[in-house]
Amino acid sequence: MNDAKIKSDYLKKIKKINELNESYYNNNRPLIPDSKYDLLKKEIIDLEKQYNFLSHKDSPSKIVGFKPSKNFKKIQHKVPMLSLSNAFSETDLINFEKKIFNFLDKKGDFKIQYSAEPKIDGISASLVYKNGKFVTGLSRGDGKEGEDITENLKTIKDIPHTITSKDFPDEIDIRGEVFIKNSDFKKLSDNFANPRNAASGSLRQKNPNDTKKIPLKFIAYTFGFVKGMKISNQSDFLKKLSEWGFKTNPFNKLIEGVNNLMINYDKIEKKRNELDFDIDGIVYKINNFQLQKRLGNVANAPRWAIAHKFSANSGVSKIVDIDIQIGRTGALTPVAKINPINIGGVLVSNATLHNEDEINRKDIRIGDTVKIERAGDVIPHVVEVDLKKRKANSKKFIFPKKCPCGFETIKEFNKITKKFDAVRRCPDRGFDCDRMAKERLKHFVSKDAFNIEGLGKKVIEKFWSLGLIKFPYDIFNLDYDKISQLDGWGNRSVENLKKSIKKSEKVSLEKFIFSLGIRHIGQENAKLLSEFLRKKENFLRLKNQKYIQELINIDGIGDTQINSLKMFFNEKVNLNVILNLSRSLDIQGFKESNNSGKLKGQVFMFTGKLNNISRAEAKSLIESNGGKIVSNVTKKLDYLVIGEKPTTKKVDLAKKNKIKVINQKTLDEMLN
Q: How far is CA 629 from the centre of its chain?
A: 27
Is the distance from CB of 334 to CB of 356 less than 8 angstroms?
yes
Q: In angstroms, rounded to a whole number, what is the distance separating the alpha carbons of residues 261 and 94?
A: 11
DSSP letters for 511-572: HHHHHTT-TT--HHHHHHHHHHH-SHHHHHGGGSHHHHHGGGGSTT--HHHHHHHHHHHT-H
What is the SS3 string spanning 399-453? CCCECCCCCECECCEECCCCEECCCCECCCCCCCCHHHHHHHHHHHCCCCCCCCC
Residues 359 and 324: their CA atoms lie apart, in Å, by 12
Cα–Cα distance for residue pair 139/24, rounded to 1 Å: 14
Cβ neighbours around 198 below 10 Å, total: 26
With b for 16 or more beta-carbon neighbours within 10 A and e for fewer, the 506-543 pattern comes to: ebbbbbbbbbbbbbbbebbbbbbbbebbeebebbbebb
Helix (H) or strand (E) holding 457: helix 457-465
CB 296 within 8 A of CB 79: no
3-state SS class at 647: coil
Helices (H), 282-428: 289-295, 356-362
d(CA 264, CA 635) in angstroms, rounded, equals 49
User: Are residues 421 and 414 in contact, defined by beta-carbon separation less than 8 angstroms?
Assistant: yes
> Is residue 322 helix, strand or coil?
strand
Q: CA dist 371 to 35, 269, 401, 508, Å?
A: 18, 11, 27, 46
Cα dihedral 610→440→421→572 (10° resolution): -140
What span, in angstroms and rounded, lies between the C-alpha atoms of 308 and 93?
8
Check if the beta carbon of residue 320 is closer than 8 Å to that of residue 293. no
Give CA–CA dist 211/207, Å, rounded: 7
Q: Rounded to 10 degrees, what is the CA torsion of 57, 61, 62, 63?
A: 100
Which residue spans within 140-290 are E strands per DSSP?
A: 145-147, 171-180, 216-227, 253-256, 279-286
CA distance 462 to 479: 14
Given a contact cutoff of 8 angstroms between Cβ atoms, the answer to whether 221 and 117 are in contact is: yes
The whole-angstrom separation of Cα 543 and Cα 566 is 8
Contact 633, 653 (CB under 8 A): yes
Residues marked as catalytic: 119
- The helix (H) or strand (E) run that includes residue 314 is strand 314-326
Measure Cα distances from 245 to 180, 183, 220, 430 in Å: 19, 24, 10, 64
In this structure, are strands 413-414 and 381-385 parallel, antiparallel, or unpaired?
unpaired
Distance CA 585, CA 571 (A): 21
